[in-house]
Amino acid sequence: MLKQEHIYSDEYLIIPVRVNVQDRKELLDKVRKTGEEYDAAIVCLNREMIAGFDHVRTALEHAIRAWKEDQMIARSLEVEVLLYAAGTRQTGLIGPFGPENGTSDYYLCIIPPRPEAAAALLEWMEEVNDEDWNEMPENKASRLIRAYNITPEELEVTGRDRLGDLIRERSALLAVNR
């Protein structure tokens, strides 16, 4: 299988992780406190709702740009990332993009990259580096087509193999449609 490495940039760090969430609120509190301790925004994006690492990068880059330009839709960078990932301005629609109870996989995003924050989080999160997180099995593709309201016409024009491009376009259009 493909070994997945951390994705670093000057502005963020992305780590594929698996977490068994007993209490969603408790997890979010723990993540928030870790972010405060290390002066970082930390977001867990649900792998089942994300079209691969390029989708995560697109959401992060647009959210960070909006934050730097004081043009955010949300009150926090963490929620801004979720809005861009979901391609919507509606905070009521971003729930499925974040953590949920049970064992799930997440793109752990740390803004700015803080290796010490990553180390603290990886004490209780399992890093997953032996799977291809850019794969899009049919059941996931169908779920994403519904979640992002991708039309049959769009798929016909672009081809199903470009589904990730259509989803990233939704993220990018959020910046235009403020």
- CATH number for the domain harbouring residue 146: 3.30.2380.10
Closest CA to 28 of 78, 72, 92: 78
Residue 46 lies in a domain: yes
**How far is Cα 58 from Cα 21, in angstroms, rounded to an integer?**
26
Residue 89 lies in a domain: yes
Tokens 């740390």, residue?
A: 110
The average pLDDT across 120-126 equals 96
Residue 2 lies in a domain: no
Count of the separate structural domains present in the chain: 1
**How far is Cα 88 from Cα 173, in angstroms, rounded to an integer?**
9
Domain that holds residue 76: 7-176
pLDDT over threshold 90, residue 7 = no
| pLDDT given at position 87 | 93
| pLDDT given at position 1 | 39
Residue 1 lies in a domain: no
Q: Where does the pLDDT of residue 142 fall: very low under 50, low under 70, confident under 90, or very high at 90 and above?
A: very high
Tokens 């603290």, residue?
A: 120
The average pLDDT across 103-113 equals 97
Q: Where does the pLDDT of residue 177 fall: very low under 50, low under 70, confident under 90, or very high at 90 and above?
A: low
Residue 80 lies in a domain: yes
Coil, strand or helix: which one is 50?
coil
Q: Where does the pLDDT of residue 178 fall: very low under 50, low under 70, confident under 90, or very high at 90 and above?
A: low
Q: Read off the pTM.
A: 0.93
**How far is Cα 157 from Cα 162, in angstroms, rounded to an integer?**
10
| Residue 43: strand pairing partners | 109
* Residue 99 CB partners (closer than 8 Å, separation 6+): 19, 21, 24, 27, 28, 44, 46, 106
**How far is Cα 98 from Cα 81, in angstroms, rounded to an integer?**
10
20 CA to centre of own chain: 18
Residue 22 lies in a domain: yes
Residue 32 lies in a domain: yes
CB 111 within 8 A of CB 45: no
What's at 124, amino acid-wise? W
Tokens 């079209």, residue?
A: 51
Residue 55 lies in a domain: yes
